[in-house]
Amino acid sequence: MEITSANIKELRDKTGISVMQCKKALEEADGDMDKAVIILKKKRSEAADKKSDREIGAGAIGSYLHNTNEVAALVFLGCETDFVSKNEEFVALARDIAMQVAANNPTFISKDQVPEEILKKAEEVFKAEVLDKPAEMQAKILEGKMASYFKEQILLEQSFIKNPETTIKEMINGAVQKFGENVSIVKISRLSVK
Distance CA 163, CA 81 (A): 28
Edge-to-edge strand list for the sheet holding 71-79: 58-65, 71-79, 184-192
Per-residue pLDDT of the chain (194 residues; tens, 9 = 90+): 688 888 888 888 777 777 888 888 888 888 888 888 888 777 766 655 555 566 778 999 999 999 999 999 999 999 998 899 999 999 999 999 999 999 999 999 999 899 999 988 888 888 888 878 887 888 888 888 888 888 889 999 999 999 998 999 999 988 888 888 889 999 999 999 98
Side-chain-side CA neighbours of residue 30 (13 Å):
1
Q: To 10 degrees, the CA torsion angle through 37, 9, 20, 56?
A: -70
pLDDT, residue 52, reads: 57
Q: Report the share of the chain in percent with pLDDT over 90.
A: 42
pLDDT digits (tens, 9 = 90+) for 7-52: 888 888 777 777 888 888 888 888 888 888 888 777 766 655 555 5
Q: To 10 degrees, the CA torsion angle through 107, 165, 123, 154?
A: -20
Distance CA 117, CA 157 (A): 20
